Structure 1
Amino acid sequence: MSSALLTAADLVRLAGARRPDGRCPACGGLHCPGWEALPGGFDASVLRQVGTLRDPEVYEPTVEEWHPGGTRTWSADAPIAPAFHPYNKSDVLQCSACGRAFLRWTEYGGYYREDRIRELDAALVVDPRG
Structure 2
Amino acid sequence: MTSSFLRAPRHHKRTSLDLDVIIDGVLNRVEARISDLSEGGARIDGASLPARSRCEIHYGGQTVYAVVMWSEIDRMGVRFPYELSHGPLYRALQRARSAAMIEPVRIFHSQRSAGFGRRGLS
* TM-score relative to the length of structure 2: 0.28
Instruction: Point out which structure has higher relative CO (alpha carbons under 8 A, 6+ apart).
Output: 1
Instruction: Please state which structure has a larger fraction of its residues in strand.
Output: 2
Bigger radius of gyration: 2
